[in-house]
Amino acid sequence: MSEPAVVIEQPAPPALPAPGTGRTVAAGLLRAARPRQWVKNGLVLAAPFAAARLLDLGEAIRLATALVLFVACSAAVYLINDARDAEADRAHPVKCRRPVASGQVPVPVAYAAGGLLAVLAPTAGALACNGHTAALLAAYVAMQLAYCLRLKHMLVVDLVIVTTGFLMRAMAGGLALDITLSRWFLITSGFGALFMVAAKRYSELVLVSQRDGDLTATRALLGEYTLGYLRFVWQLAAGAAVLAYCLWALESSGGEHGLLPWRQLSMVPFTLSVLRYAVFADAGAAGEPEDVVLRDRPLMVIAVAWSALYVLAVVNS
């Protein structure tokens, strides 16, 4: 008798993601735009607040428009980046759930939506605000796309690009309203952004190191950094931000006529806010800056105290 033939079953090839319906594609596009990250664009309001600018209705509309356009630009970058990395994300245990990688949003649709937003946002900025705002939005999109394509693989340059993105947000409100941006505002905002960016990278490296995971699984360049270097960067940036703010408060408090030097007193909560955030950075828990800022109650109380002192300084100047 002949032996029965042995049938070896070949594993089925991985199924291609099924295309989504119109409603699910729209929902996927919204989710791919990262709504949780939109809070970062609130920095657009920083320059008018720092300049103590009382807005009329037209200026308020222009400022709100600049905020919405920055949200559109950041969404464009997220969509194009996800479309470009779709194949790699499908092999990632977490990123495979992203709308583009999972097939909820087809890659061509993500490219088209991202490209459309990238073109329309600067154009709308020129029409609704001014040429400076449009140029800033266009430069932001170009810089972020260059970051996604190449610059995120360059040591230190990646930190500078992400920091510059935050600084551009802080400048946008001032440019939209033709507010002169002081050197102290730019220095404080720049080093404050670098502090948070370096603390984020430090926290990511701490988390991956504690789990004995692949350092390049989350960011390709993360394994090139050391904990000591990133700690040095965020500590240096924190010190520079506090120093710049204190110099600004001392220099600009000459015109105050109130009972107390409110602007100088605002140095206390500003310094405390940096020290409080540094607690999370040092513990490796600052990987999601928006969660730290919005969920830590002591930090929110400090922010309210700083805002109150700053308003008193403006009222009494």
* Encoded tokens for 21: 């319906």
Q: Give the SS3 label for residue 32.
A: helix
- 141-179 pLDDT, tens per residue? 999 999 988 888 899 999 999 999 999 999 999 999 999
- 65-86 pLDDT, tens per residue? 999 999 999 999 999 999 988 8
Q: Which fold has domain 22-181?
A: Tetracycline Repressor; domain 2 (1.10.357)
Give the mean pLDDT of 17-40.
80
Looking up tokens 């300049």, which residue turns up?
51
- 177-186 pLDDT, tens per residue? 999 998 999 9
The better pLDDT of the pair 260, 70 is held by 70
CA of 202: how far to CAs of 219, 283, 286, in Å? Answer: 12, 9, 8
Residue-by-residue DSSP string for 213-264: --TTTT-TTGGGS-HHHHHHHHHHHHHHHHHHHHHHHHHS-TT--SSS-HHH
Q: What is the dihedral of CA 289, 283, 163, 77, to 10 degrees?
A: -50
The better pLDDT of the pair 189, 215 is held by 189
Q: Give the SS3 label for residue 166.
A: helix
**Total-model pTM:** 0.85
